[in-house]
Amino acid sequence: IPGLWGLVNNAGIAIPTAPNEWLRKEDFVKVLNVNLVGLMEVTLSLLPQLKRARGRVVNVASVMGRLACFGGGYCPSKFGVEAFSDSLRLEMRHFGVKVSIIEPGFFKTNITNSEAMEKNFISIWERLSDETKASYGRDYLQKCECILKAHLALLCQDPPGPLKSLWHEVSACPLPLPPVLTATREMGKKCNPNLSLVTDCMEHALTSCHPRCRYAAGWDAKLLYIPLCYLPSALSDIFLSWSYPKPSQSE
C-alpha cells in the first residue's frame, strides 16, 4: 500500500488575544483546539501512511513557541506544537520518519488582520467587570497604540535600519496617545509580505536529504526572538517589559 511522503500542518489562529486576566477558559480552548489539538489529530491519523513511505512531518509553530510575549491561547498552543513535534521526532526516527518545526517571525497573514484585531480588543474590553477595567484603566489600551506601532516597525519590516525605524516610531508618538485601534490598522501594512521565506523552509524540510529539526523564518526570528529565548528569564523579562504599558493601579 503506497504511503504518504509529506504532511505540512500550517493551520493557526491568534484571536481571542488579550492580557490573560481579561480572557475566559473558552477563549483559550478556541485557539488551542485549532493550533494544537487539531494538529495532533491530523498527524496521528496519518502516521501509518507516513511510516510506510518513511516520509516527512512539517509542523509550523512560531517564534512565540519559544518566547511568550502576550496573553491568550496562541503562545501556549505554539509551545505545545514544539513539545509535540520534539517528542514525535524522537519516536519516529526508528521508522525513518523525519519531523521538522518551522518557527516564523511576524508575517502578513490573516492572523494580523487589522479589522479582526480591532473587534477582538473592543469585544473583550467591553465584557470586563468594572473592577478589572478600573485596575487597568482606559488609558491602558490607548498606550498600547504607539507601543504596538513601534513593535511592528521593528519586527514586521525587512531591514535595513530597523532600530532607526523603531526610534522614529517611538519619538513621533504624541501625548496623549491615540487609541490602540489605530495601531491595528497599521499592522496589515507593516508586516512582512514575503511568505516565500516560510515556504522555502517547508520545501527544504520536505525535499532535502537531511532536513533540519528547526527552521527560523524571518530576520526577527533569527536575530531577535531566538537569541532572546536563550537569555535568563530575568533578562528577557526586562527586555520585553520595556514595551509593556503600565496599568493604572500598578505598583
Handedness of CA 120, 58, 153, 170 (dihedral sign): positive
Q: How many whole angstroms separate alpha carbon 119 and alpha carbon 124?
A: 8
Strand partners, 59: 9, 101
Phi-psi sector, 38: left (phi>0), alpha (psi -120 to 50), beta: alpha
Q: Which amino acid is at 95?
A: F
C-alpha cell belonging to residue 103: 518557527
180-190 and 139-155 helices, crossing angle to 10°: 10
CA 85, chain centre distance (Å): 17
The single residue of 74, 136, 215, 225 carrying the catalytic annotation is: 74
The closest alpha carbon to 184, from 109, 114, 107, 111, belongs to 114
| CB within 8 Å of 109: residues ≥ 6 apart | 191, 195
Matching residue, cell 512582512: 192
Q: How many whole angstroms separate alpha carbon 62 and alpha carbon 180?
A: 24
The closest alpha carbon to 249, from 136, 144, 139, belongs to 136
Q: Is 74 a catalytic residue?
A: yes
Q: Which residues are catalytic?
A: 74
